[in-house]
Amino acid sequence: SDYAEEPPRHPDLRINSKEPFNAEPHRSALVSSYITPVDFFYKRNHGPIPKIDDISRYSVSINGLVNKHIQLSMADIRLLPKYNVTATLQCAGNKRTAMSKVRKVRGVGWDVSALGNATWGGAKLSDVLELVGIPKLSSVTALGGKHVEFVSVDRCKEEKGGPYKASIPLKQATDPDADVLLAYEMNGEIINRDHGYPLRVVVPGVIGARSVKWLDSISVIKEECQGFFMQKDYKMFPPTVDWDNIDWSTRRPQMDFPVQSAICTLEDVDVIKEGKARIAGYAVSGGGRGIERVDISVDGGKTWVEAHRYQKSSVPYISDGPQSDKWAWVLFEATLDVPANAEIVAKAVDSAANIQPEKVEDIWNLRGILNTSWHRIKIQNSR
Ligand code: MTE
Ligand code: MO
């Protein structure tokens, strides 16, 4: 079959779909380290994993509305200045299973672990685009290009057997501070097949779907990418829209991720003893907005206490300090007195004072994306 040459995976991953392979780590594994180990990083695919055996024959072509078209080998890309960027990648479908409990949604079911925090190593896209004559901080090229499209090597049924693709605005692609990478390393090792070997895009602060794996070509184009995942998927619709009245053209492709958090030391319905308990999890926002605060409640949201946040295990989180990673999650923890039959809730606030919505009903959408509603845990029989 097309899936005969899939790479080996860690047996502790929770598999949500086998072909294509979609899997996430268990909650407790997710927050046991600030940097997510590659083996425990969620894997989200739309087709078989490509196998690129002869790296000397691999190249990325850069074409479209630019004066010269070029081909870059891996050696060429490695000659460019190398950057390490710690960024959280989160699938727009994270927490979809909880949304589907309100009303059925279409898509792969995910618990709260369709995200991970890695240090990505590679060349900046802004440097790569300079090689074809596009200066830094351009919003349009001389030939009218306004978007940068990433086309993959993989094939998927949503594209009718064509490659997975996505685009971002040229402005973001040419902004060195946006930290968009063509990454060949993940956590200091050569990026593996599951995560895009030999080269993937990493667009920090944006839903995972735009970080195209197994990069084949980069096109400078006039309008945003017309591919399935930009135009017929990954758009946020209101709760009134369902499959019988959807008009995809009325919404724009989702880019930045909204503020999100989850508790990872407990299941949604769990049993613990009454008394002191350590409650821990993650919080992250998109667009380069950091996390300002994480609030925890043990009485269903009537009263709150602020959790302790940190970005490197044991190093206290310093907002805007030298340790601050604007693209990366914070982990949080609080040790609280948990009463009998408690309802434990977490919600985060980002640096723009955006707060997670309280109810999943209010943000229900037919594709089940961006479930950023308060994470609620029901404690039973806590005796
Ligand atoms: N790139 C390609 N070529 N094919 C894909 O199926 N999936 C996207 C994105 N890039 C995908 C892709 C989605 S929806 C997500 S959430 C991330 O990759 C997942 O990246 P990961 O598997 O490295 O965690
Ligand atoms: Mo995704």
pLDDT in tens, the chain (383 residues): 799 999 999 999 999 999 999 999 999 999 999 999 999 999 999 999 999 999 999 999 999 999 999 999 999 999 999 999 999 999 999 999 999 999 999 999 999 999 999 999 999 999 999 999 999 999 999 999 999 999 999 999 999 999 999 999 999 999 999 999 999 999 999 999 999 999 999 999 999 999 999 999 999 999 999 999 999 999 999 999 999 999 999 999 999 999 999 999 999 999 998 999 999 999 999 999 999 999 999 999 999 999 999 887 544 544 444 445 789 999 999 999 999 899 999 999 999 999 999 999 999 999 999 999 999 999 997 55
Looking at the CA of 228, name the nearest ligand: 1
Q: Give the number of the atom of ligand 1 that is nearest the alpha carbon of residue 116.
A: 24
Assign residue 192 a region (left: φ > 0; alpha: ψ between -120 and 50; beta: otherwise): beta
> What's the predicted TM-score (pTM) here?
0.96
Q: What is the pLDDT of residue 221?
A: 98
Q: Which residues have C-beta within 8 Å of that of residue 288, sequence separation ≥ 6?
A: 178, 204, 205, 326, 327
Mutation probe of ligand 1 site: the residue of 3, 46, 94 with most atoms within 8 A of C-beta: 46
The residue contributing the CA closest to ligand 1 atom 9 is: 209
Q: What is the pLDDT of residue 383?
A: 54
Gap between the Cα atoms of 204 and 236, Å rounded: 19
The residue contributing the CA closest to ligand 1 atom 13 is: 209
The residue contributing the CA closest to ligand 1 atom 19 is: 44
Looking at the CA of 229, name the nearest ligand: 1
Residue of 302, 293, 378, 298 lying closest to 335 (CA atoms): 298
Answer yes or no: is the C-beta of 214 below 6 A from any ligand 1 atom. Answer: yes
Looking at the CA of 120, name the nearest ligand: 1
Q: Give the number of the atom of ligand 1 that is nearest the alpha carbon of residue 207.
A: 16
Q: Which residues pair with 208 in a beta bridge?
A: none
Q: Which residues have C-beta within 8 Å of that of residue 168, sequence separation ≥ 6?
A: 147, 148, 180, 203, 206, 210, 255
The residue contributing the CA closest to ligand 1 atom 20 is: 44
If you write DSSP's letter for every residue of 32-52 in order, what string do you get?
S-SSPPGGGS-EE-SSPPP--
The residue contributing the CA closest to ligand 1 atom 21 is: 43
Answer yes or no: is the C-beta of 165 below 6 A from any ligand 1 atom. Answer: no
The residue contributing the CA closest to ligand 1 atom 11 is: 45
User: In angstroms, what is the span from residue 115 Cα to ligand 2's centroid?
Assistant: 9
Answer yes or no: is the C-beta of 208 below 6 A from any ligand 1 atom. Answer: yes
Q: What is the pLDDT of residue 281?
A: 98
Q: What is the pLDDT of residue 318?
A: 44
Q: What is the pLDDT of residue 324?
A: 59
Q: Which domains does the chain have, with CATH numbers?
A: 14-250 (3.90.420.10), 260-379 (2.60.40.650)
